[in-house]
Each structure stands twice: as structure tokens, then as C-alpha cells.
Amino acid sequence: MTKRFLMVLSVAALLLAGCGGQTTPTLTDSQQTAVYQTLTAMASENATDTATPAPSPTPTPEPTATPEPSTSVGPDQFPAGVNPLTGLAVSDAEILDRRPVLIKVSNFPVEGRPHSGLSFADIVFEYYIGAGSNRFAALYYGQDCTQVNPVRSVRRVDGQLARLYQAVLGYSGGNEENVLPVIYELLPGRTLAEGLCPGICDDGHHWVTTVYGDSAALTRYFKSTGADTGAEDLTGMRFDEKVPEGGQPGDDAWVKYTDYTMSEWVYDPTSGKYLRWTEDPTQGYIMIPLVDRITGEQLAFSNVIVLNTYVTEYTTVLHDMTLRDNQEGQTATIFRDGQAFEVTWKATDPDKPLQFFDAQGQVFPLKPGNTWMALIGITSDVATEAGEWVFNFRIP
């Protein structure tokens, strides 16, 4: 058992990769899953080998086939070293002994594209901020990135997201009257704005697209202040490689916040992930691949989730959303493995990750890997035809 365990760790070490060569090494999704399954099988084998049965006078039963280790993890418990936000084993379990790091990322102006570091996040949240624009909030836990860019101002909903995922929050500015007081109330001592570098830094050009975040540096800062004392309870999500039953064709998903702010997710059977496309205003709003500036590769996510929620519009550029208070349930559509599943999402605990439930009330299994969540209004409409889903953002 010990020799095989060391062999597995040695193989995993040869497969490590990181964020632009500057972050904690990681395995690919399939490699992480393979390591976890092998370790699970060896643990079971070891438990059997150490037991010495007494001689029995009765005939030995016919041998039965040993079932393969389950690929399902969560929602209530996760093995050591498995990230509860992705369902994947991490290369170094010590990285999970912290709070997740939520960093605000701008999508406008388009001069800030392509973004840096989104492909290294466990979860990315997307939502409308007014004036025809959307914005992202990237959550880092199982791995880090030292160049998350471009970082922009905080919104009221970010306080809810950070509380749900027990995160610390990095951003660049915010409305001092209507936004920051809400953030400070929800996250006392757990926020860091531009100006304290390393953490949230400017590359020296002092423009809206030049501020960047360093998730590892943010963790070090909040550990030094005592706001991050180690791992929090992040259970609640469930992951399974096996595709659940009851899906509909779903290999193409559009999310249209306006006619000029939209995204398309196209399923790639080769990688088993959804690839992100975005509008390009410089070329007549044609759709182009949205890549990560660090890797040069198109953003690829295992799960894409479109959540309907109540959106409150105070002004054209001041909004809030109902997330932590949604304990009754709202609709959502989950895209995984080229299929679409209509589910219910809830915040069963206002300080734990969002949960997704099937029609029988069971926690819905996401595909192990990263997840993109797009938040849209409760009155938004959807049209579907031949596997293509089009969500149009609406608020009352």
C-alpha cells in the first residue's frame, strides 16, 4: 500500500501545472479525478488486506466482482484533499486550509479583454451592473493566480456571494454611499481594495484596465490580519462524473444581457467542457472566442449554470439581487456534458454554497471541475430549439 501510494504521488507530481508558472501547481481535471479514484481504491484494498479472517468450517462463498470506486463526492462530506467547490483532488491539500478568495473582474471597457486568470477560478459569477454592462466575480480556492485582471469596483451582490462561500474579497473601489456600507456589514475585516499591494495592485499605468489581483497574496494578507484562520465549511455541492438522467439536448447556451452584451457557450465533446464566446464591438458584434490572456486558450468550463433570481434596480447603475434569502427556491438551468437540466436552486444556509436540486428534491450532481454561474432576472425569458438555449435578461 505504501509503495503504491508513493508511486501515485510521484506520477501526480510529474503532471503538475500552474497559473502562468507563478502559482500553486495543479493537475488537469481528469488527472485529479484519476488520482482521487486510485487513492480511494487503495484505501479500500488496504482495509481488506489488514484484516486476517479466522478459518471457517463452512464453504467459501463464490467471489463477487469488486465494484469500481464511486466517482460521486459531496454534498455533505468530501475526502481530504478534495476541493468541495470542484469535486476534484488538489495537488497540495494545504491550499484548502484557508478562505476562498473572491476577486472582481471587469468585462467593460472591452479594451480590458482578454481577461487574465478566469480559467484558474473554481467558480465565476456573472451578472448585470447597469448601463448595458455585465461584470464577473471570480472565486479562487483550489488553485491561485497572481495576475487576475482587470479588477474593477465592487457591487452590492458581491457581499452576498462572499458570505455564501465564506470568502475574502478583493476589488478596486466602490460607491461609498450605497455599496461599500453593505459590503462592510456583510464582510467585516474581509475586504481589500486597490492600494494595498501585493494583493490588489496597479501595473503603473493607472487606468481602469490596469489593476490586477493576486489571490495568493490576498490569502497571505488576510491570514496576517486574522480574518482568515483556516478552512471553512464549504459543503453543499455534489459532483459526479456520471451524467444524470432526465437531461435535454443542451450543447449551445446564450446569455443575452442586452443586444450588445452577450455570451455563447458551445459544448466541446473532445474536452467535455463548454467553450466561451463573446461579442466583439470592434467587428460589428460578431462572436469571437473569449480567451485567458495567461494561457492563450479559450475559456472552458465543466458546468454552466443560468440562475433566475429577483433583481432590484435602484438606479440604472445600482442593483441588488436576492441570493442569501432564497430559501424557498428559484429556477435554474444547468448545462453539463452537452445536456441541459432544469433544476431548483436555493441558499439553504445563508453562509454556505448555493445548492441545486432535481425534481425529486435530491441534490443535483455537477460535473467535477469548474463552474460558471450567470445570474439573470426572475422575469427573464428563455427559448430553446434543437439543443440551443437563448436566455434574455429581464427585470421588472
Domain boundaries, given as residue ranges, for the chain: 1-42, 96-225, 238-392
pLDDT tens, residue by residue, 269-304 = 999 999 999 999 999 999 999 999 999 999 999 999
Fold annotation for 238-392: YerB-like fold (3.50.90)
Residue 96 CA to residue 348 CA, distance in Å, equals 23
- Other CB atoms within a 10 A radius of the CB of residue 110 amount to 14
What mean pLDDT is predicted for residues 242-254? 97
Is residue 104 a contact partner of residue 140, using CB atoms and an 8 Å limit? no
pLDDT of residue 195: 85
The grid coordinates listed for 200 are: 490588489
- CATH class in words for 96-225: alpha beta
pLDDT tens, residue by residue, 166-198 = 999 999 999 999 999 999 999 999 999 998 899
pLDDT of residue 1: 43
* Residue where the block lists cell 475585516: 189
Note the pTM of the prediction, 2 decimals. 0.84
CA angle 377-119-215, nearest 5°? Answer: 95
pLDDT tens, residue by residue, 231-247 = 999 999 999 999 999 99
Residue 195 CA to residue 192 CA, distance in Å, equals 9
Band (44; pLDDT cuts 50, 70, 90): very low
Residue 314 CA to residue 302 CA, distance in Å, equals 34
Is residue 88 a contact partner of residue 141, using CB atoms and an 8 Å limit? no
Pairing of strands 371-377, 365-366: unpaired
Same CATH fold assignment for domains 96-225 and 238-392: yes
Q: What is the mean pLDDT of the chain?
A: 87
Pairing of strands 311-315, 318-321: antiparallel
Residue 78 CA to residue 97 CA, distance in Å, equals 14
Closest Cα partner for 151 from 127, 129, 135?
135
61 backbone dihedrals φ, ψ, rounded to 5°: -65, 155
